Structure 1
Amino acid sequence: MPFWLEIIINVVFSYVASVGFALIINVPHRDLNFSGISGVVGWMAYWFCFRWGLGRMASNLIGAFLIGILGLFFARIKKSPVTVFNIPALVPLVPGVPAYQAVRALVAGNYSQGEELLLRVAIVTGGISLGFLLSTMCTEAFYKFKYRYFKNARLYIKHKK
Structure 2
Amino acid sequence: MEGRHHMHIVEQIITSFIASAAFGIIFNVPRESLLKSGFVGMIGWLIYYLLTFYGVDEIPSTVASAFFIAIISQIYAKIYRTPIIIFTVAGIIPLVPGGTAYDAMRNFVENNYNEAISLAAKAFMISGSIAIGIVFSEVINQIIRQSKLNAKAKYRP
Question: Structure 1: which 4+ aligned runs deviate by more than 3 Å?
Answer: none
After superposition, where does 1:1-161 map in structure 2 within 5 Å? 2=3, 3-152=5-154, 154-155=155-156, 158=157
Structure 1: which amino acid aligns with 2:19?
A
Say which SS state the counterpart of residue 26 (structure 1) adopts.
Answer: coil
Per-residue Cα deviation, 1:31-53 (whole angstroms, up to 9, x for no partner): 11110111011101111111121
> TM-score of the superposition, structure 2-length normalised?
0.94
5+ unaligned residues in a row in structure 1: which ranges? none
The 2-side partners of 1:48 and 1:144 are apart by 33
Per-residue Cα deviation, 1:55-111 (whole angstroms, up to 9, x for no partner): 111010001000111111111111111111011111100111111110000011111
The 2-side partners of 1:40 and 1:87 are apart by 13
The 2-side partners of 1:23 and 1:65 are apart by 23
RMSD: 1.1
5+ unaligned residues in a row in structure 2: which ranges? none
The 1-side partners of 2:55 and 2:63 are apart by 14
Percent identical pairs in the alignment equals 29
Say which SS state the counterpart of residue 37 (structure 1) adopts.
Answer: helix
> TM-score of the superposition, structure 1-length normalised?
0.92
The 1-side partners of 2:106 and 2:132 are apart by 27
Say which SS state the counterpart of residue 54 (structure 1) adopts.
Answer: coil
Per-residue Cα deviation, 1:14-44 (whole angstroms, up to 9, x for no partner): 1100001101111000111110111011101
